[in-house]
Amino acid sequence: MTDRTQDPIDSIPLPLDHTRRTFLGAGALALLGLAAPTVRPAAAQAPKRGGTLVVAADVSPPGLDPQKSAAAHSWMIAEHVYSTLLRRDPKMNIVGDLAESWQVVSDTTFVFKLRKGVVWHHGRELAADDVKYSFERMLDEKTASPWRSNWSIIDRVEAPDKATVRFVIKRPFAPFFSYLATPHYGAIVPRDIVEKNGDLQKVASGTGPFVLERFVPDNTVVLKRNPSYYESGLPYLDGLEYRIIPDEAARLAALRAGTVHYLWSVDPLIDRQLQGAAGVMLREPDGYCAQHGMAFNQTKAPFTDVRVRRAVSVGISRGEIIASVLRGHGAITTKIPPCDAPFGYSGDEKGLPYYVHDAALAKRLLAEAGFAGGLDTTLEVSPRFPQTVRTGEVMKEQLAGAGIRVTLKQVEWGAAIKNFVRTEYDGMSMIPLVWQPDPDAHVYDIFHSGSAINLGKFKDAKVDQLLEQGRTTLDRDRRIAIYRELQQHMADQAYLIFPYASGATEALRDTVKGYVSIPGAQPGSRSRQFFKQTWLG
């Protein structure tokens, strides 16, 4: 481990090395990324109404329907248009959104009272039936909603009156409230508009702070202020535009030229690229939430042997990868990332078994497993994500030193993701993984032996048992202990390798004030952005 990443990441200010400390432009405010949720800059000035904030987005949303699109580029727009029953505040606490109050009747029954006088963008008043409809729509097979399996726990949703919604779930389910507070899982959609248009891919009407005005695929999404938003006075902006610019060099150029106000980048060299750009400031990631994950094909030799997997785990130097690929801006991680501590692991390599780089140990383990002369294997990566390719290149060199000869195989993304989740690759495969709104969502489907997308097709009764306990235990401290044990066990067995957790840096024009967000690994780098509180100075 190098000096740069020694500090635990989640609870104290980020270590700043000399290259990162450079703040850009004359008089740039010190928009330092501090620990987790951040509200800044201290609002010395009174917010000003008006103006349109332009965001440079990298990918065109494949439709805007929050219940149909599995793409994060859809939700990052939909979250400004639709509301949820519950939401997270910038301090990550779950608070009411459309729900004014709620009551936990039993471990499996919850009653929500809706906020009064909420009006859809098309003028109709919000009714409990819309909430019921939204969940039934996701559960309907014909919708082909990616969130159907998340909500399969629901037994029924009832709307006894216009302002009351009752959920009955099949068994106690710890992640239920965090799912309700997750913008894409929990978006409430209007029955009449869906029925009139078939879906919400190109049209939208929500109860959120912004109204969809225009969506031209590959070009732009224009949102304008919702004048009847239920939080009075918000939003401050007259409009919000997502301009779709696929090329990163072009996005940076647009920010420099001032034609866009905001962008994010996972490239650790972004600060050097924007050096000297007047009126531009950088925001460090609030926490490291996005991980890379490498899976082994455990349906056949050699990776069925735990010694070979452990050899790979100690054959790579996570610290060196973080130093070179991320230039220090990353952290040691398990599948539950450090930004989710205390559920997630947030320490250095020494706290987890087989995490410390040791080429000699790797060779010894290989020899014990019958590969004294070394081992040849493959690693699939997708060129869609240059960072993954770079990570693969560095790992290849490191593993060569441990006697593991890796051939990198570049696979186009459509095939790579399919091969990865279905374990249809030869040796190893690595893709970037996204942040999930609950520890259970992070691990259950990809670790459970009964799941079709168990990564690498491994079976471990202890893992299955911990997963079940984690999802049904409602006591927070006991849940934390369960997931800690799971992470230790997963590292010991080296079923999967997580080389690092990283984050995205945001770059803003210095006219952007009052920008607040919650960490997460979604595009836009945040799990939720509060543009309704943002204003242009």
Query: Site residues for other proteins, window 61-80 (CB under 8 A)?
Result: 62-63, 68-71
Q: Which one of residues 247, 376, 468, 475 is an interface residue with other proteins (CB under 8 A)?
A: 247
Helices (H), 292-335: 306-315, 318-325
Q: Which is nearer to other proteins, 297 or 346 (CB)?
A: 297
When binding is defined by CB under 8 A, the residue of 445, 486, 496, 519 that contacts other proteins is: 445
The H or E element spanning position 244 is: strand 239-244
Whose tokens are 């947030």? That residue is: 346
One residue of 13, 198, 370, 537 binding other proteins per CB under 8 A: 198
By CB under 8 A, is residue 228 in contact with other proteins?
no
| CA quadruple 323, 6, 515, 228: dihedral sign | positive
Q: How far is CA 173 from CA 154, 170, 176, 188, in A?
A: 10, 8, 6, 21
Interactions with other proteins, residue window 258-297 (CB under 8 A):
258-259, 267, 269, 272-273, 275
Stretch that binds other proteins, among 57-65, 77-85, 349-357, 499-507 (CB under 8 A): 57-65
* CA-based R_g, the chain, Å: 23
Q: How big is the CA angle at 532 (ends 437 and 114), to the nearest 5 degrees?
A: 65
Least distance in angstroms from the C-beta of 170 to other proteins: 16
Q: Could you tell me the smallest distance in angstroms from the CB atom of residue 328 to other proteins?
A: 11
Distance CA 427, CA 303 (A): 8
Of the two residues 254 and 366, which places its CB atom closer to other proteins in the complex? 254
Query: Residue 125 has what DSSP assignment?
Result: B
For other proteins, which residue of 225, 256, 318, 363 counts as binding (CB under 8 A)? 256
**Can you state the angle between helices 439-447 and 461-472, rounded to 10 degrees?**
150
Q: Which one-letter DSSP state was computed for residue 24? A: -
Tell me which residues in 326-385 interact with other proteins (CB under 8 A).
327, 381-384
**Residue 95 within binding range of other proteins, rule CB under 8 A:** no
Least separation in angstroms between residue 445's CB and other proteins is 5
Specify the stretch interacting with other proteins by CB under 8 A; choose among 205-213, 231-239, 359-367, 439-447. 439-447
Q: How many residues bind other proteins (CB under 8 A)?
A: 79
Span 135-174, contacts to other proteins by CB under 8 A: 141-142, 144-150
Please select the residue that binds other proteins; options are 413, 468, 474, 478, rule is CB under 8 A. Answer: 413
Interaction between residue 320 and other proteins (CB under 8 A): yes
Determine, following the binding rule CB under 8 A, whether residue 411 of this chain makes contact with other proteins: yes
What's the min distance (Å) between Cβ of 150 and other proteins?
7
**Closest distance of CB 265 from other proteins, Å:** 10
Percentages (nearest 5) of helix, strand, coil residues in the chain: 30, 25, 50
Token look-up 């990353």 returns 330
- The CA distance from 378 to 505, in Å, is 31
Q: What is the rounded CA–CA span in Å between residue 336 and residue 346?
A: 10
| Nearby residues of 159 by Cβ (< 8 Å), 6 or more positions away | 127, 128, 129, 131, 132, 165, 166
Q: Which of residues 463-502 bind other proteins (CB under 8 A)?
A: none
> Is residue 213 part of the contact set for other proteins (CB under 8 A)?
no
Q: Which one of 353-361, 405-413, 457-465, 516-524 is the stretch in contact with other proteins (CB under 8 A)?
A: 405-413
Q: Given its phi and psi angles, is residue 356 left (phi above 0), alpha (psi -120 to 50 degrees) or beta?
A: beta
Candidate list 410, 469, 472, 488; residue touching other proteins; CB under 8 A: 410
Sole window of 88-96, 158-166, 322-330, 514-522 interacting with other proteins (rule: CB under 8 A): 322-330
Cβ-Cβ contacts under 8 Å for 489 (sequence gap 6 or more): 460, 462, 463, 466
Choose the binding region for other proteins from 308-316, 340-348, 390-398, 517-525 (rule: CB under 8 A).
Answer: 390-398
Angle at 288 between CA 284 and CA 294, to 5 degrees: 135
> Of 228, 304, 378, 451, which one interacts with other proteins (CB under 8 A)?
451
